[in-house]
Amino acid sequence: MRTKGNHWRAHALLLLVLVAMIYPMVWLVGASFKPENQIFTTMNPLPLVFTFANYVNGWTATGTSFTVYLSNSLTVSIATVIANVASCSVAAYAFARLDFAFRKFWFAVMLGTMMLPFQATLIPQYAIFYQLNWINTFLPLVVPYLLAYDAFFIFLMVQFIRGIPRELDEAAALDGAGHVRVFFSIVLPLMRPALITTTILTFIWTFNDFLRQLVYLSDHARYTAPLGLNAFVDRASGSSYGGMLAMSVVTLVPTVAVFLAAQRRIVDGVATTGIK
Amino acid sequence: MSGTPVRKRKRHKHNLAGYAFLAPWLIGLFAFTLIPMVYSLYLSLTKFNLLTAPQWIGFENYVRLFSDERYLQSVRVTLIYVVTSVPLKLAAALLVAVALNRGLKALGFYRATFYLPSLLGASVAVSVMWRQIFSREGLLNQFLGIFGVQGSDWIGDPRYAIWTLVALSAWQFGTPMLIFLAGLKQLPQDLYEAAAIDGAGKVTTFFRITLPLLSPMVFFNLVLETINAFQTFTPAYVVSGGLGGPIDSTLLYTLYLYLKGFGSMQMGYASAMAWVLFAVIGLFTAVYFWSARKWVNYAD
């Protein structure tokens, strides 16, 4: 039976784990506002002397401004989101609603690609994009998503569409609506929650992606935020911790902002499903 | 349903529309997955540096793997990483999920906060932060200093460096935790009431009821996290400054593949490495599925 004592102990344990997990991030933010010589002198995350110097110095420390890196990251992420949402929703509609030959076979293939390690295609893809002269452009990062490269989101949307009552599209079909109209005016509006989830996850995953951007982008003018930060770490290698930590915070801000905005949605979702 | 032979319908009603809607994905499947896979298999049998045409050498790349000391080291490091980080992460996820699953008022807050590291963990910024935490003057050693313990340079010491990566992985237990939590919500409450009437303690209840009922979720998380762990790259790259050091102690498989393929442009060799990795992940997954019959409990 659940007693008050147990609740109390569970709370204490959870809070302890929570503090241990979050502490490094709080420290990171605090340290980014400390003068260089006070960063490693105390565990206290609060700066005794508050300074923006790390941000000012760090912003242009690699020779290219973080404004460039951040806007490149935003360009890539937003383009990927649009491409991914559009292409995956179209494929998901086919899998969830249309009856065509070999549908089950293709569905199995689609699930199989989710298990595929990306290393298996990394080198041949690079060789192909190299032949196309696409190296050091954003095309190798975005174009695959125009063609529903990430099957995870197709699967997510298929699951969602299956939960939408068929009567709605059948009624529309009886009224003479074709598949294109049913898709755009019935299914797409109803799958908004799945589209939002896809948007949020695609944005955060793309923004934080490193290996693919590291491989394809070679010019500082094309560098994204993770590459800019990495270049900073390479260059600073121990000399400018303050700037390094400040720019780490800068590259985390967009994803944390999206998370905080979407987090309310999570809480709302929980409330509507009646879970305490 | 069908009446006269004349009205006999085609078995699939939407062939044209189906393939029209599927076309983008199908083109992508061939262009970015299937054709590259075949091409990669071919490249793995060649010497290829991107600038000149691939040169056929048969199975030489695969043979060379077994005498490449750095390769064997990367395999060792990766196996240690996978078999320690995955169970640790799942155990943390399960523990916290069970602790959360008791009708807490602040559940939404806890869930979101525990999930945040999972979302950010793959970023360069978090790896940079990790490097500072485990450095000689870092947060961990300052904490240990309170108890008079002199910590070492965790990142710079080949004995400890890999464990900082394992810790970073375990820190991101949020995703499996959310999956466990969803599973726990589905468990039938009457079993717990029956167990309580029979006088079963908390630990017994957990191992005899919760864990068996949750085994499909454990299985799902195990497969997913194992595949992810084999593919880890960013933390190893950032924490070691891109080289897998000190003395190759953090040379995870994907990092070595990157260094071979894009550092020294041995793309044939790196393709062979990719195919071995693909086979090993397939093997792990097959073993999981085979063993699942023995320990995964599919109700009804």
Domain architecture of chain A: domains with CATH: 66-272 (1.10.3720.10)
Domain identity same for B148 and B223: yes
Does any domain span residue B300?
no
> How far, in Å, are A236, A246, A258 from residue A231 at the CA level?
8, 14, 25
The model's pLDDT over B10-40, given as tens digits with 9 standing for 90+, comes to 577 788 888 999 999 999 999 999 999 999 9
Domain identity same for B43 and B184: no
As to burial, measured by CB atoms within 10 angstroms (0-12 exposed, 13-18 middle, 19+ buried), residue A157 is: buried
Domain identity same for B137 and B35: no
DSSP alpha helix (H) spans, chain B: 15-28, 35-43, 60-65, 69-100, 107-120, 124-133, 139-146, 161-171, 174-186, 189-197, 202-205, 211-230, 234-239, 253-258, 267-295
Query: Across A16-25, A85-94, B95-104, B134-143, which has the greatest mean pLDDT?
Result: A85-94
CA angle, residues B134, B137, B139, in degrees to nearest 5: 55
Query: Across A36-40, A112-116, B5-9, B257-261, which has the greatest mean pLDDT?
Result: B257-261
Residues 2-61 of A with CB under 8 A from B: 2, 6-7, 10-11, 13-14, 17-18, 21-25, 27-28, 31, 40, 42-43
Which of A23, A122, A208 lies at the smallest CB-CB distance from B123? A208
Q: Report the run of H or E that residue A260 belongs to, with start and end.
A: helix A241-272
Percentage above 70 pLDDT, chain B: 96
Check B24 against A147: CB less than 8 A apart. Answer: yes
Q: Which residues of A are less than 8 Å from B21 in CB distance?
A: 90-91, 93-94, 98, 179, 183
Report how many domains make up chain B.
2
Q: How confident is the model at residue B255 (pLDDT cuts 50, 70, 90)?
A: very high
Does any domain span residue B216?
yes
The model's pLDDT over B178-217, given as tens digits with 9 standing for 90+, comes to 888 888 887 888 888 888 888 878 888 888 888 888 888 8
Long-range contacts of the stretch A266-275 (C-beta < 8 A, 24+):
A266/B108, A266/B111, A266/B112, A267/B108, A267/B112, A269/A193, A270/B107, A270/B108, A270/B111, A275/B107, A275/B185
The model's pLDDT over A185-201, given as tens digits with 9 standing for 90+, comes to 888 998 888 888 888 88
The rounded Cα A206 to chain-centroid distance in angstroms is 5
Distance to chain A for B25, nearest Cα, Å:
5
- Output the pLDDT for position B3: 44
ipTM reported for the complex, 2 dp: 0.86
Does any domain span residue B211?
yes
Domain identity same for B17 and B113: no
**Boundaries of domain holding B28:** 13-56
Q: Which residues of A are less than 8 Å from B242 in CB distance?
A: 234
